[in-house]
Structure 1
Amino acid sequence: MDLPRKPTFDLSGKRALVTGAGRGIGLAASAVLADAGADVTLVARSAGEIEEAAAAIRARGQKATALALDVTDVARVREVIGAAGPFDVLFNNAGANRPASFLDVTEEDYDAVVDLNVRAAFFVAQVVARGMVDAGRGGSIIHTSSQMGQVGGARRSVYCSTKWAIEGLTKAMAVDLAPHQVRVNAIAPTFIETPMTRPFLEQPGFKESVLTKIKLGRLGQVEDLMGAVLFLASDASSLMTGSSVLVDGGWTAD
């Protein structure tokens, strides 16, 4: 009897691009993709952080390059990422949040969050996808969404808007790019302890309120996302596109 073969998570020979790679979720994604054999390009505005991260990956005998870039500068994104490609995997992760009650949201805060979370993510994905299509070998694009792309939340009107947009973008891109064998999926975490979330979690009572909604009773760590990132990047998910993988500890289960 010929038994089915287990899927491969090996990314040897693949090139991956990770935005927002200097810390938190982006750093974890860079580490797991490199550990699976990918040649990873780490992108962030902070040159020092990504240089240090890339050096740490190379110190493990793996492949990593730092690329300092402001992804909100679409012209530079097209020039720099277009020249650096083509890539086989994109982890489209750069993002921000400026929590405020809906009635108190300023135009400045709205523009800043939407510009990074939606506009920049859209055009980074476009230039990487164009490279994948031109190379003719398919690929995997992974957007960082959020549980807040499935539900609402207090003081999160702008952030929720952007993550719902990413969920819709994921599905629409999947439809457009499927004929080219480019898969597009999202990962939707709950609150993960990172430098971005730490100031919110330190506010009186906020962490306690979050834990009442996470059914598994704990905050997420970046390591909790690494398996999902590798799964979506690899051939193990070869029949998945247009999906969003919730890693939310049960937040959205009810």
Structure 2
Amino acid sequence: MEVSFAGKRVLVTGAGQGIGRELAKKLVKCGAKVTAISKTEKYLKSLQEESPTIKIVTADVSSPDIRKTLRLLGPFDCLVNNAALAILEPVLETTEESFDKLFNVNVKGVFVVSQEVARMMVENKIKGSIVNLSSQASKCALRDHLAYCASKSAVDMLSKVMALELGEHGIRVNCVNPTVVMTAMGKIGWADPAKADPLLQRIPLHRFAEVEEVVDPILFLLSDKASMISGIEVPVDGGFLAC
């Protein structure tokens, strides 16, 4: 199924690496005018070298200045909240600092960026689409993931309330909830069989997700092909949550 974003202005956060990076490049191939945000300038510059039409902006979604930055960049037709942070600590060793960092980026960052972009959509009468990157960790307890699981669960409910209230303006909001994804970092983090095998045994397809297997559902949910879909969470987990 072909999707087109011809003439659409799309904002992707966390676009320097991994899912966000590949998504930004594929959106360009589908005709979108992409603005890519990351807090790491070197990754953005290399992204622009690969796809020169992408507008790059070095910014932190948890920064107090992010609203002003977005106002200068917008409005947008579509938004993907991909920026996220992972700090894995056991329950008894989770620090308040780690907890706050995760929630500032994973939850408050999604809230602030979505609120500002949605306001511009409403002001400009844009029937837009927002996709938030959540995780299978929002639905299932995982060891050493206290703050991460809690933050992604918050993203799911934040998205549902946004879908409820923004629907009257023609704005759709959905989540994509992947398992471990084989980005460069994912390959490093899950290369140890002692760590990977127990999780793989719980995935009926017995493998982790490839980047494009997450990018494609995001593209679908952003597109007009999903024009009646809002307020849902799409697991990309090989059946993990079915067990």
Normalised to the residue count of structure 1, the TM-score between the two structures is: 0.92
CA distance, structure 2, for counterparts of residue 99 and residue 196 of structure 1: 14
Note the 1:44-193 alignment, pairs <5 A.
44-58=38-52, 63-73=53-63, 75-193=64-182
| Cα displacement (A) at 1:196 | 4.0
- Tell me the residue number matched to 1:10: 4
- Tell me the residue number matched to 2:239: 250
CA distance, structure 2, for counterparts of residue 35 and residue 213 of structure 1: 35
* 1:181-228 superposed Cα distances (whole Å, 9 cap, x missing partner): 010001000000224434431346111112111211111111111210
CA distance, structure 1, for counterparts of residue 191 and residue 101 of structure 2: 23
Worse overlay, 190-199 or 119-128: 190-199
Correspondent of 2:20 among 19, 26, 30: 26
- Tell me the residue number matched to 2:202: 213
When residues 66 and 124 of structure 1 are mapped into structure 2, their CA distance, relative to the original with a 3 A threshold, is same
2:11/2:36 contact within 8 Å kept: yes
When residues 229 and 191 of structure 1 are mapped into structure 2, their CA distance, relative to the original with a 3 A threshold, is same
Moved over 4 A (4+): none
When residues 172 and 40 of structure 1 are mapped into structure 2, their CA distance, relative to the original with a 3 A threshold, is same
CA distance, structure 2, for counterparts of residue 22 and residue 195 of structure 1: 12
CA distance, structure 2, for counterparts of residue 45 and residue 218 of structure 1: 31
CA distance, structure 2, for counterparts of residue 182 and residue 160 of structure 1: 27
Q: Could you tell me which amino acid in structure 2 is paired with residue 25 of structure 1?
A: I
Worse overlay, 187-196 or 167-176: 187-196
Normalised to the residue count of structure 2, the TM-score between the two structures is: 0.96
1:42/1:54 contact within 8 Å kept: no
Q: Could you tell me which amino acid in structure 1 is paired with residue 224 of structure 2?
A: D
Give unmatched runs, 5+ long, in structure 2: none
The count of residues paired between Structure 1 and Structure 2 equals 243
Q: Could you tell me which amino acid in structure 2 is paired with residue 65 of structure 1?
A: K
1:8/1:236 contact within 8 Å kept: no
SS of alignment partner, residue 231 of structure 2: coil
Correspondent of 1:37 among 31, 35, 41: 31
| Cα displacement (A) at 1:49 | 0.7
